[in-house]
Amino acid sequence: LLLTVNKVPQQLATNEYINRHENLIIVEVTGSCKSYLACAQGVEACNATLKVMYVRLPDLLAELNLAKVQGNYRKRINQYIRVSFNTGRVTVKGTNNAEQQHILEILEKRYRIHSTVYCSQFDVAGWHSKLGEGALDDAIIARIISKSQTIKILSNKSVTSR
């Protein structure tokens, strides 16, 4: 499902997609308000008394790598799995096998149970080349897009440059 920006507020303000355990993928250029829209959805989820977490992918991976070293990996993974609504920025970069396994473990446990908002400068079609080619990245992308609505902010100018 591709939503146009003028229909987004009515369709997202109800949090119905969260009740259906669907994800949102917000795609467009830097400075186009992706993170603002994602945070606004997080605020709406908080207003509906849901537990919300905001995390960037590089921070998530760093935290999980540190948790592995400190011996509290399972506890940290469970913190990401339990939140009802997760929002964050996906700065997709080449990931190694261990990082892909971290991501897949979280997605697998959240799949069809909780909602997540993904923000990216890259269209989903380009995620394979950014994430790292292979079976794990196929599984990661499949978990994300199978129950997702995509919002493409159609702008050739950054809001911050206007």
Worst-scoring range by mean pLDDT, 6-15, 35-44, 71-80, 124-133?
6-15
Worst-scoring range by mean pLDDT, 9-18, 86-95, 124-133?
86-95
Q: Which two tokens mark 111?
A: 């799949």
Q: Which two tokens mark 33?
A: 């308000």
pLDDT in tens, 52-91: 888 888 888 999 999 999 999 999 999 988 888 777 666 5
Integer-rounded Cα Rg, in Å, for the chain is: 15
Burial class (CB in 10 A: 0-12, 13-18, 19+), 124: middle
Over 70: is that where the pLDDT of 162 sits? no
Task: Categorize the per-residue pLDDT at 150 as very low, low, confident or very high, splitting at 50, 70 and 90.
Answer: confident
Per-chain mean pLDDT for the chain: 81
pLDDT at 106: 92
Task: Categorize the per-residue pLDDT at 2 as very low, low, confident or very high, splitting at 50, 70 and 90.
Answer: very low
Q: Is the pTM of this model over 0.85?
A: no
Over 60: is that where the pLDDT of 8 sits? no
What Å distances lie between residue 154 and 18, 27, 148, CA to CA?
A: 24, 9, 18
Contacts of 136 (CB under 8 A, 6+ apart): 97, 100, 101, 104
